[in-house]
Chain A
Amino acid sequence: MPGITREEVAHLARLARLELKDEELEHFAGQLDDIIGAVAAVSDVADEDVPPTSHPLPLTNVMREDVVRPSLTPQQALSGAPAHEQQRFMVPQILGEES
């Protein structure tokens, strides 16, 4: 596996919404490179014909009936909000899809 570069770390940080500082980019690039080097051992089995396990229990079809349960009150829902207005969560401007 190729090593992980500073640019890749910057890309990952953008995807993960982490505003990393320059020195962090350097620091994490080294560490992530070490870790990825170590965990790359799993790829030995990439071509093996083994089913993946996404879940430790062999459960299926766990569902609930379509019956309304009490919601939180709006006050409870908003209780942790950094800011709210008109019973809605107030957030900074969204850079959206709309043009």
Chain B
Amino acid sequence: MTDLTRLSAAALAEKIAAGEVTAVEATEAHLARIEAVDEKVHAFLHLDREGALAKAREVDAKREAGERLGPLAGVPLALKDIFTTEGIPTTVGSKILEGWVPPYDATVTRKLKEADVVVLGKTNMDEFAMGSSTENSAFGPTGNPWDLTRIPGGSGGGSSAALAAFEAPLALGTDTGGSIRQPAAVTGTVGVKPTYGGVSRYGMVAFSSSLDQGGPCARTVLDAALLHSVIAGHDERDSTSIDAPVPDVVAAARNGEVRGLRVGVVQEFSGEGYQAGVMQRFGESVELLRELGAEVVELSCPSFTKALAAYYLIAPSECSSNLARFDAMRYGLRVGDDGTHSAEEVTALTREAGFGDEVKRRVMLGTYALSSGYYDAYYGSAQKVRTLITRDFERAFAQVDVIVSPTTPTTAFPLGERADDPMAMYLADVCTLPVNLAGNAAMSLPCGLAPEDGLPVGLQIIAPAMADDRLYRVGAAVEAAFEARWGHQLLDEAPSL
């Protein structure tokens, strides 16, 4: 019998719809896999066994009753613990929200339920999505299934690790500076940051409001597209949500094609700090695109060199304000309420005890950047850099249809290596964060293993805002060509756990 955990979401959904497999069987297979490997991987913070099985039974009942099932009905999914789930704990990887059970569902959660997707549980993440390694989780790190002593990327390391460890065929992430794409790159999976405003942020615990974007994580480009089309679309509860039809990403994923496409290679995405094996695989990817009929154009986007600096002012500034609500008054942790401390003191004691170092660093950095006397030099200037980056993208997209780059400068680094060196950690997102600053769409998909360490390398594809379908068209073509060349999926080379 087929191992249901090795199937793609598309294949699994087909089998469920055809009655070859029940949703309950699919769910049980994944729960069993989690049981077997998650002690080592630690992808999940919370499992909702009962809820998942109940949903699976509901799907099976629908099928038996002859109802038409959605394209992902009955398929298990791992949900990043940043999306609120009514009745199920949501911690955002933080002690300050330990045990909090939201009284409402995020829009994305609601859409998953409506699409009959089976949510298995909530996945580990860097606290409040701040980090690139999932080591900033208050509940312990997640291991990279390719090498458990290495980082699975972050902040959505739990989601990507769950995919790479075959604990779920689908997962959801959020991407503020690369938190979907960088974990996808280092785990050999696919991750997409949709155009800003493409997926509702309602119920997605905010880190940096003008940068955050939820998106699909999967093992194949088509699976990502199927999930993308389930979660995307206008939401009247999110004022920054795009009120326009979602590009047909599924059709694009089914029709991979790059012939005649103009592909940009940006020179600023290279140089010091880029691992040789990463650049080698990236070079081969560009070569592959040429072979497939794409025209490759060399570009320069000079302001990208300031993206990291702008990002580390804008994101902390917004987070310093977004995280102010965690004050021990209405929900979450409360420390020091012993009758001797004022509300003010209890707030400060609770935040001190409840937030980890990276959160404290960024909250203080943002407080600094917004404070009077510094605003213009820091926050104000960062927003000007943002304009320059957007203009660089506009100039680039006047010449090319998509831009490609390595997703990350290096492969997965060892756990602990950069834990107390924030600047080194921040460099992991140097290729991904310009996209967040401009609001474009981007994808990361596997393009091979770095020769020097045998770890996955990610290829990033960037499209203009609202042209998310291009990612899938190009991604599907690249994926098909690579798999034809390798004779299998890259993940098949991962060690068995």
Contacts and interface: CB of A to CB of B under 8 A. Distances in A.
A15 B367 contact: yes
B100 interface: yes
Given A53-B386, A59-B240, A89 B330 contact: yes
A45 B367 contact: no
B361 interface: yes
Nearest to A42: B381
Contacts of A44: 306, 381
B489 interface: no
Interface string B356-383: 0000110111011001000011101111
B439 interface: yes
Nearest to A69: B237
B101 A80 contact: yes
Contacts of A55: 210, 240
B327 interface: yes
A28 to B, nearest CB: 6
Interface string A6-34: 00110011111111110010001001101
A95 interface: yes
B399 interface: no
Nearest to A95: B342
Contact of B382 (A9, A18, A42): A42
Q: Which of B327, B349, B365 has the most chain A CB within a 10 Å cutoff?
A: B365
A91 B170 CA distance: 41
A17 B351 contact: yes
Contacts of A72: 103-104
A15 to B, nearest CB: 5
Given A52-B380, A52-B383, A64 B103 contact: no
A83 to B, nearest CB: 7
B239 interface: yes
A18 B355 contact: yes
A83 B329 CA distance: 8
B361 A35 contact: yes
Contacts of B102: 80
B378 A19 contact: no
Nearest to B387: A53
A12 B368 contact: yes
B145 interface: no
Given A39-B313, A92-B343, A45 B388 contact: yes
A39 B381 CA distance: 10
A46 B383 contact: no
A56 B196 contact: yes
A29 B412 CA distance: 29
A39 B100 contact: no
Nearest to B437: A56
A41 interface: yes
A16 B367 contact: yes
A52 B386 contact: yes
Given A79-B103, A95-B342, A16 B387 contact: no
A50 B364 contact: no
A39 to B, nearest CB: 4
B351 A18 contact: yes
Contact of A43 (B328, B352, B378): B378
Contacts of A50: 384, 387-388
Nearest to B99: A80
A15 B371 contact: yes
A13 B360 CA distance: 9
A40 B210 CA distance: 21
B422 interface: yes
Contacts of B347: 17
B265 to A, nearest CB: 24
A26 B387 CA distance: 36
Interface stretch (B135-143, B331-339, B443-451, B455-463): B331-339
A97 interface: no
Given A38-B309, A80-B330, A18 B348 contact: yes
B215 to A, nearest CB: 15
A44 B303 CA distance: 11
Contact of B377 (A16, A43, A51, A64): A43
B334 A46 contact: no
B197 interface: yes
B368 A36 contact: yes
Contacts of A24: 360
A88 B269 CA distance: 54
B284 interface: no
11 contacts: A38-B309, A39-B382, A56-B211, A56-B465, A57-B240, A59-B239, A72-B103, A76-B103, A91-B343, A93-B343, A95-B343
Given A39-B313, A43-B378, 14 more contacts: A16-B367, A17-B348, A32-B365, A38-B312, A39-B312, A42-B310, A42-B378, A52-B380, A53-B390, A57-B197, A72-B103, A80-B332, A82-B332, A91-B329
Interface of B: 100-104, 196-197, 210-211, 236, 239-240, 242, 306, 308-310, 312-313, 320, 324, 327-334, 337, 339, 341-349, 351-352, 355, 360-361, 363-365, 367-368, 371, 376-378, 380-388, 390, 422-423, 437-439, 465
Per CB-CB distance, the 9 closest pairs between chain A and chain B, nearest first, are A56-B439, A80-B331, A52-B383, A82-B334, A76-B103, A19-B348, A19-B352, A53-B386, A39-B309
